[in-house]
């Protein structure tokens, strides 16, 4: 039941302090609104801190400075091609139109230190390099910079504040929320507009089993996103009559060093490394789709694979924090040649030697790859030294969620808007279409910063009008 009065009242209330909630807060402040962001964790982390902090965006000033020609229409074409035409056209258009300007806004107005520091042009569906990252290439750095920016902009952030209920009238007008503090006490907060920035539902195994059965029911199921992504915001939106879309879509990752909980930098594979199973055999086109590769690995005996690479590929990632951690922890097995490596990782030596030799013949164009991978752009793997890291496939982030309009306002199934409810990032329907293979790399954070910004802007406009 709606409370008669609230303990406190704010204009724009944001639930969740990941990239979505923080960008919504920044944009609402820029629009002149009073903002409060509530975060259930004592220290905000979210999937944002766990990520590598890459954001894909088209038409930014950083791209222009490097002479990269890109723009909304080209990005939209890439989104539609990657999602096989299934991405919602309104959300895809909003993402394509506003992504470059959102990066410029974050850099110029809020001091977020984006660079164009990774080249993924031509991989996994991006036709040009539009990967924006912070200097350390960590989500932690990006997240920290956004938290500081919100404080500098005069937005309030309260942590240890788990929102448990949303109050609304019969017309769907949200009036406020209830939140629970770590000591079990409860408070109510009234608002004029509510932004749901609670992310997806990867940590809610029941929802995953229901909507993504391929993953949720896999014997070696792994979730590797933030445990706060329990789908609460999506469920509140649905209870208020919102439409959802693409609930079976997800971003998987086909290279998680699971025993260590550390991702393997995929550059080692993209530039010539291979993945073999416990039999020492390749089983997929490793470069077709990094998200779908997660399921390919989970379907192997015991649900794991070994990424095998040489010194040249190792040099590409040696300086990156994840790889440095993997090396320090002993996850990178090294050997002078294929026979010694096979012994170190306990796969049949003959099979591994044959698989490696076949990959070299594919590079030279002597035989085709049975899985359709084009090896011809990379140099053959050396005969030694060789390295291997044991990996599995994991669910990083669900992609289905609440349907929103071009201003991130939540929609009902008939297309009408809920009066004052907004959503972005993982809580909203993404641009991946359905299933596991429509994810464009770095679209997760793009959905967070772009829709977060649009949600904050729209919420401020609504209350100012
Ligand atoms: C290992 C990993 C690497 C990734 N790398 C990338 C990458 O490089 N590029 C990319 O684009 N994407 C990447 N992703 C995906 C990306 O991290 C997410 O798409 C993005 O962070 C989503 O942002 P968000 O703000 O919607 O969610 P989050 O960052 O998860 O924030 C949601 C917040 O809401 C809080 N919350 C939830 N429910 C409540 C509640 N009831 N009350 C109060 N607070 C609540 C949570 O605690 C959380 O802090 C990666 C994901 C993972 C797991």
Q: How far is CA 425 from CA 17, 282, 297, in A?
A: 11, 35, 27
- What pLDDT score does 82 carry? 94
SS3 (DSSP) at 5? coil
- What pLDDT score does 240 carry? 98
- What pLDDT score does 437 carry? 87
**CB contact set of 125 (below 8 Å; sequence gap of 6+):** 78, 81, 82, 440, 441
pLDDT in tens, 323-342: 999 999 999 999 999 999 99
8-203+401-464 and 251-395 share one fold: no
Pick the residue whose CA is nearest to atom 2 on ligand 1.
51
CA of 398 to the centre of ligand 1 (A): 10
List pocket residues of ligand 1, CB cut-off 6 Å: 15-21, 38-41, 44, 46-48, 50-55, 162-163, 197-199, 224-226, 228-229, 232, 263, 396-397, 425-426, 442-446, 448
pLDDT in tens, 54-77: 999 999 999 999 999 999 999 999
Across 282-301, average pLDDT: 92
Place of tokens 């070994």: 306
Residue extents of the structural domains in the chain: 8-203+401-464, 251-395
Residue-averaged pLDDT of the chain: 95
pLDDT in tens, 236-269: 999 999 999 999 999 999 999 988 989 999 999 9
Ligand 1 atom having least distance to the Cα of 179: 42
- What pLDDT score does 120 carry? 67
Output the DSSP codes for 249-260. Answer: -EEEEEEEETTT
Pick the residue whose CA is nearest to atom 4 on ligand 1.
51
pLDDT in tens, 196-230: 999 999 999 999 999 998 887 777 778 999 999 99
Q: Which residue from 49, 397, 428 has its CB within 8 A of the most atoms of ligand 1, so it is best to mutate?
A: 397
What is the token pair recorded at 135? Answer: 């200097």
Across 177-204, average pLDDT: 97
8-203+401-464: CATH homologous superfamily? FAD/NAD(P)-binding domain (3.50.50.60)
Pick the residue whose CA is nearest to atom 9 on ligand 1.
442
Q: What percent of the chain has pLDDT over 70?
A: 99
Q: What is 251-395's CATH topology?
A: Flavocytochrome C3; Chain A, domain 1 (3.90.700)
> Above 70 in pLDDT, residue 122?
no
Q: Is the whole-model pTM more than 0.85?
A: yes
Question: Long-range CB contacts (< 8 A, 24+ apart) of 239-243?
Answer: 239/166, 240/166, 240/168, 240/172, 240/174, 240/410, 240/418, 240/421, 241/172, 241/412, 241/413, 241/418, 242/402, 242/403, 242/410, 242/411, 242/412, 242/418, 242/421, 243/402, 243/403, 243/411, 243/412, 243/413
Q: How far apart are the first and last CA of the chain?
A: 28
Pick the residue whose CA is nearest to atom 11 on ligand 1.
442
Across 419-428, average pLDDT: 98
Angle between helix axes 338-345 and 349-363 (nearest 10 degrees) is 130
> Above 90 in pLDDT, residue 393?
yes
Q: What is the rounded CA–CA span in Å between residue 332 and residue 13?
A: 46
> Above 70 in pLDDT, residue 402?
yes
Pick the residue whose CA is nearest to atom 3 on ligand 1.
51
CA of 349 to the centre of ligand 1 (A): 41
Place of tokens 């956004």: 146
pLDDT in tens, 307-327: 999 999 999 999 988 999 999
> Which region, left, alpha or beta, applies to residue 152 given φ > 0 means left and ψ of -120 to 50 means alpha?
alpha
């Amino acid at each position: 039941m709606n409370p008669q009065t609230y303990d406190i009242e704010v204009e724009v209330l944001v639930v969740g302090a990941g990239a979505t909630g923080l960008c919504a807060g920044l944009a609402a402040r820029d629009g002149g609104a009073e903002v409060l962001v509530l975060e259930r964790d004592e220290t905000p982390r979210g999937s944002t801190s766990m990520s590598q902090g890459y954001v894909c965006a088209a038409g930014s000033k950083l791209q222009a400075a490097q002479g990269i020609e890109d723009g909304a229409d080209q990005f939209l074409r890439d989104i539609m091609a990657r999602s096989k035409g299934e991405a919602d056209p309104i959300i895809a258009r909003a993402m394509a139109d506003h992504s470059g300007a959102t990066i410029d806004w974050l850099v110029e107005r809020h001091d977020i230190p984006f660079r164009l520091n990774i080249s993924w042009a031509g991989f996994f569906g991006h036709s040009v390099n539009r990967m924006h990252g912070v200097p350390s290439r960590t989500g932690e750095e990006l997240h920290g910079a956004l938290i500081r920016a919100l404080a500098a902009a005069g937005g309030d952030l309260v942590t240890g504040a788990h929102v448990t209920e949303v109050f609304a009238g019969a017309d769907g007008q949200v009036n406020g929320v209830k939140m629970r503090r770590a000591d079990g006490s409860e408070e109510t907060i009234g608002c004029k507009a509510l932004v749901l920035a609670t992310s997806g539902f990867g940590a809610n195994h029941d929802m995953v089993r229901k909507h993504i059965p391929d993953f949720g029911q896999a014997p070696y199921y792994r979730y590797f996103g933030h445990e706060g992504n329990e789908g609460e915001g999506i469920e509140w939106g649905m209870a208020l009559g919102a439409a959802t879309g693409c609930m079976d879509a997800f971003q998987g990752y086909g290279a998680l060093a699971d025993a260590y909980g550390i991702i393997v930098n995929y550059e080692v594979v993209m530039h010539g490394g291979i993945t073999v199973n416990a039999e020492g055999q390749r089983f997929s086109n490793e470069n077709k789709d990094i998200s779908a590769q997660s399921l390919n690995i989970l379907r192997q005996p015991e649900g794991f694979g070994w990424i095998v690479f040489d010194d040249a590929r190792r040099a590409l990632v040696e300086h990156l924090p994840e790889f440095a951690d993997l090396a320090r922890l002993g996850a990178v097995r090294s050997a002078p040649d294929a026979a010694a490596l096979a012994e170190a990782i306990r796969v049949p030596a003959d099979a591994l030697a044959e698989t490696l030799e076949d990959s070299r013949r594919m590079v030279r164009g002597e035989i085709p790859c049975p899985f359709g991978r084009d090896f011809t752009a990379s140099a053959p793997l050396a005969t030694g030294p060789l390295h291997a890291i044991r990996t599995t496939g994991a669910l990083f982030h669900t992609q289905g969620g609440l349907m929103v309009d071009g201003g991130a306002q939540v929609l009902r199934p008939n297309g009408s808007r809920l009066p004052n409810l907004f959503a972005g990032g993982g809580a909203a329907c993404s641009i991946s279409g359905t299933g596991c293979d429509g994810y464009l790399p770095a679209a997760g954070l793009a959905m967070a910063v772009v829709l977060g910004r649009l949600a904050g802007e729209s919420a401020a406009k609504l209350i100012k009008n």
